[in-house]
Structure 1
């Protein structure tokens, strides 16, 4: 029979683990609980990494218990990948705040465990995708509400008063000379770009800006 390990995490040294430890100790002996006081934004935490490498590494048949899913990671995509990792190596993850994951599974009924893990992964995928769409929607709404700079056509941040995005391409010092030669068909556009040191996209952007501003 595999071992059962608990994992508890808080984000900073000032916070305490008491509530998580009290909940975990109903299922796991104190000496089998791994802890971290580190942000959940990434997975580079000493305690957590010890569950995946070294003497304390979890292997097939083991069980990992956490108070809530965000103790593994606050990033939904990372949490999903971690569940997939543990499922792939045959480690069961139990989450105290999700009673479905705590149910006893009869011996030989591994398909039930796979089903529970797959449901968790699908739910996380859906949540992560919805969060991404919400963020994109808010960003688009924010950009749409920004005023536009008449000269560059770029959006202006209300907070900083500066244009958002890449700085606009500047006119080279010898712009007018080669622009006129190109317009008079004395040189090709490619030749003008070479002399001005511009790429096609930048060249034609400047052409439009120059002609609109005259």
Structure 2
């Protein structure tokens, strides 16, 4: 079966224009029928056009061309996963904004392409890890700053009902059951025992 070349173009909203991406993809000799487009956010890979392209159109030996890596996704982890998927499934990815991916190598030089792909995967994986670490650090700093200001974090503490002391006294004295005490104080089983423990 002959290999095919597909293009993928994406903008984040329906109002944005795809013309620039279409022009550069067609300049690569891709037939307009083979250019798949999405007008959806790049926050994840759950996009109708992209999923259809990946799962029903692309075959081993095919080439996929995009204008830039962020057209695939804005999430570095997702891009890394996609690059690994393409590599495992024998699909060549060319990124117009990354000229090294665009070079066609002579037979026997595929190792150069392999090296470029491996470097890309490695770099993206490292960037994604650093982003996750800095998000965690920012969260930790935010929590520390909030605590320093005396902001209560987590679930708000359960408030004791107005009749709590009276009812808990009756319960402890064995005058009423726990179920009755919960009913009279309007508390759930969990809240009742939590407050009783304090």
Q: TM-score, normalised by structure 1?
A: 0.71
Residue aligning to 1:41? 43
Residue aligning to 1:88? 88
Q: CA deviation at 1:70?
A: 0.7
Alignment of 1:157-176 (within 5 A): 163-168=152-157, 173=164
Alignment of 1:115-130 (within 5 A): 115-130=115-130
The CA distance in 2 between the partners of 1:137 and 1:31, in whole Å, is 46
Gaps of 5+ in 1: 150-154, 157-162, 182-193, 207-214
Q: Which has the higher helix share?
A: 2
Q: Deviations over 1:90-133 (max 9, x none)?
A: 00111111111111122243333222211111111111111111
Residue aligning to 1:212? none
Residue aligning to 2:6? 5
Q: Secondary structure at the match of 1:59?
A: coil
The CA distance in 1 between the partners of 2:168 and 2:145, in whole Å, is 35
Residue aligning to 2:102? 102
CA-atom RMSD in angstroms: 3.0
Q: Secondary structure at the match of 1:132?
A: helix
The CA distance in 1 between the partners of 2:138 and 2:12, in whole Å, is 27
Q: Secondary structure at the match of 2:144?
A: helix
Residue aligning to 1:210? none
Correspondent of 2:52 among 50, 66, 71: 50
Q: CA deviation at 1:9?
A: 0.2
The CA distance in 2 between the partners of 1:114 and 1:170, in whole Å, is 62
Confirm or deny: 8 A CA contact 1:92 1:113 kept in the other structure. no
Gaps of 5+ in 2: 174-189
Count how many residue pairs are aligned between Structure 1 and Structure 2.
177
Alignment of 1:147-166 (within 5 A): 147-148=147-148, 155-156=150-151, 163-166=152-155
Confirm or deny: 8 A CA contact 2:147 2:153 kept in the other structure. no
